[in-house]
């Protein structure tokens, strides 16, 4: 699934800023918009007046609109009662269900012929709930899930919790979304960013995005309302990728080695204890017909990226990412290193996983 932006009507941005954001996002390859129709701080009259213009812009740029809804939203929109037809006519294709909807409501709404999908709260869902949905005749192909974002500091979720919930949802073939903050204009009224993971309140936009993708999140949304051009570009560039993306610091300027580092890799299926090994690296080196001279053969700390040099015979070109400290070896060159943040991604390099270095 594509990554997405967030639009909040009646809050911080002017209408023209929101329209321009949609245009920039579409041009960057972003295909999804999250919005909420029941934020307490939002100006309800402004929201109602501008919603049709925002939905028209989304339609013009072929973007899928996901709306957080509740019974309060029905009053704001002037609907006498709840009906999927209302949202279909507006052009809202995915509904994220908040408080006020029952188990039976979900089952009934899932079996619609309007092409509308439902998003459940990925942060609170349980296995029993999913089993009950499945057994009760829910059209599971119309079910998605989205983790909450958390405006107040120290209330964001842990990495372990989000990973566990996401894996559970994937067992039922349910796609999962989550949020990262923008550092351009944090959303009011708290102005502390809108991340799913508390960790991401302090890490870079680039790392937060790659971190969620490495964890298996299918669609990453920037939670705040006015990301800058670089953030939009990154969000679009990293859409629809299954590879873990790592950004190491090179220890070499050798063009041949830099070229090897830029190649796509897959981890070996037989997982080593001390290092991450790759399936392709020695073949890449052979095909390039390069000779790797001994260089930077120091102690190998966790997070170092190494290449076996010519002294290792047939292992020349073997690329590894170090998991545990290893002593120096004159046959092994250190060619790059991962920062402490980047090292958090190593655990997601499971057997058979695709990954790529961004240099």
pLDDT, tens digit, for every residue of 188-212? 889 999 999 999 999 999 999 999 9
Identify whether residues 55 and 163 lie together within a single domain. Answer: yes
Identify whether residues 203 and 88 lie together within a single domain. Answer: yes
Residue 89: pLDDT over 80: yes
Identify whether residues 214 and 277 lie together within a single domain. Answer: no
- Whole-angstrom CA distances from 49 to 45, 76, 78, 95, 267 are 6, 10, 12, 20, 52
pLDDT of residue 43: 72
Identify whether residues 233 and 282 lie together within a single domain. Answer: no
Residue 73: pLDDT over 80: no
End-of-domain residue from the set 241, 268, 285: 241
Identify whether residues 173 and 253 lie together within a single domain. Answer: no
Identify whether residues 199 and 271 lie together within a single domain. Answer: no
pLDDT of residue 75: 73
Measured CA to CA, the distance from residue 102 to residue 230 in angstroms comes to: 41
Identify whether residues 201 and 333 lie together within a single domain. Answer: no
Answer whether 172's CB lies under 8 Å from 134's CB. yes
- CATH code of the domain in which 313 resides: 2.40.100.10
Residue 108: pLDDT over 70: yes
What is the secondary structure of 20-61 as a DSSP string? HHHHHHHHTT--EEEEES--TTS-HHHHHHHHHHHHHHHHHT
End-of-domain residue from the set 241, 259, 274: 241
Residue 110: pLDDT over 80: yes
Q: Quick check: pTM over 0.85?
A: yes
- What b-and-e string marks burial along 70-94, b requiring 16 or more CB atoms within 10 Å of the CB? bebbbebbeeeeeebeebeeeebbb
Q: What is the pLDDT averaged over residues 214-240?
A: 95
Residue 321: pLDDT over 70: yes
Identify whether residues 9 and 148 lie together within a single domain. Answer: yes
Edge-to-edge, what's the strand order for the sheet holding 354-357? 244-246, 354-357, 265-266
- The residue segments making up the domain with residue 315 are 246-357
Task: Please give the structure tokens belonging to residue 250.
Answer: 């090179």
Identify whether residues 179 and 122 lie together within a single domain. Answer: yes
pLDDT of residue 81: 75
End-of-domain residue from the set 241, 271, 294: 241
Identify whether residues 91 and 218 lie together within a single domain. Answer: yes
Task: Indicate the length of the chain as a whole number.
Answer: 359
Average pLDDT in the chain: 94
- CATH code of the domain in which 80 resides: 3.20.20.70
pLDDT, tens digit, for every residue of 331-345? 999 999 999 999 999
Identify whether residues 235 and 280 lie together within a single domain. Answer: no
pLDDT, tens digit, for every residue of 146-182? 999 999 999 999 999 999 999 999 999 999 999 999 9
Number of domains in the chain: 2
Identify whether residues 201 and 272 lie together within a single domain. Answer: no
What is the secondary structure of 96-152 as a DSSP string? EE-TT--HHHHHHHHS-SS--EEEEETTT--HHHHHHHHHTT--GGGEEEE-----S
State the pLDDT confidence band at 41, using cuts at 50, 70 and 90: low
């Amino acid at each position: 699934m594509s990554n997405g932006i967030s639009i909040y009507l009646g809050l911080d941005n002017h209408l023209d800023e929101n329209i321009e954001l949609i245009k920039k996002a579409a041009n960057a390859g972003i295909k999804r918009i999250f919005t909420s129709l029941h934020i307490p701080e939002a100006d309800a009259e402004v929201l109602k007046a501008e919603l049709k213009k925002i939905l028209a812009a989304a339609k013009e740029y072929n973007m899928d609109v996901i709306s957080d809804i509740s019974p309060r939203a029905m009053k704001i929109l002037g609907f006498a009662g709840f009906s999927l037809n209302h949202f279909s006519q507006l052009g809202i294709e995915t509904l994220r269900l908040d408080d006020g909807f029952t188990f039976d409501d979900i089952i009934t709404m899932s079996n619609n012929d309007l092409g509308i999908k439902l998003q459940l709260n990925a942060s609170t869902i349980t296995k029993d709930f999913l089993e009950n949905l499945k057994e009760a005749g829910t059209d599971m192909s119309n079910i998605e899930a989205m983790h909450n974002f958390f405006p107040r500091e120290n209330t964001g979720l842990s990495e372990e919790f989000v990973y566990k919930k996401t894996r559970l949802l994937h067992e039922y073939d349910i796609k999962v979304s989550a949020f990262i903050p923008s550092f351009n204009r944090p959303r009011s009224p708290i102005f502390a960013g809108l991340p799913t993971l508390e960790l991401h309140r302090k890490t870079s936009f680039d790392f937060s995005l790659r971190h969620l993708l490495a964890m298996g999140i299918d669609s990453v949304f920037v939670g705040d309302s006015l990301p800058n051009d670089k953030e939009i570009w990154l969000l679009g560039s990293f859409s629809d990728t299954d590879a873990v993306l790592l950004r190491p610091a090179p220890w070499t300027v050798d063009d041949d080695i830099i070229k090897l580092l830029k190649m796509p890799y897959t981890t070996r299926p037989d997982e080593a204890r001390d290092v991450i090994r790759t399936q392709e690296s020695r073949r890449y080196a052979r095909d390039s017909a390069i000779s790797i001279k001994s260089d930077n053969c120091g102690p190998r700390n966790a997070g170092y990226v190494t290449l076996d040099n010519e002294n290792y015979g047939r292992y020349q070109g073997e690329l590894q990412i170090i998991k545990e400290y290893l002593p120096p070896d004159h046959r092994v060159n250190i060619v790059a290193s991962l920062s402490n943040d980047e090292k958090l991604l190593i655990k997601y390099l499971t057997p058979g996983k695709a990954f790529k270095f961004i240099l």
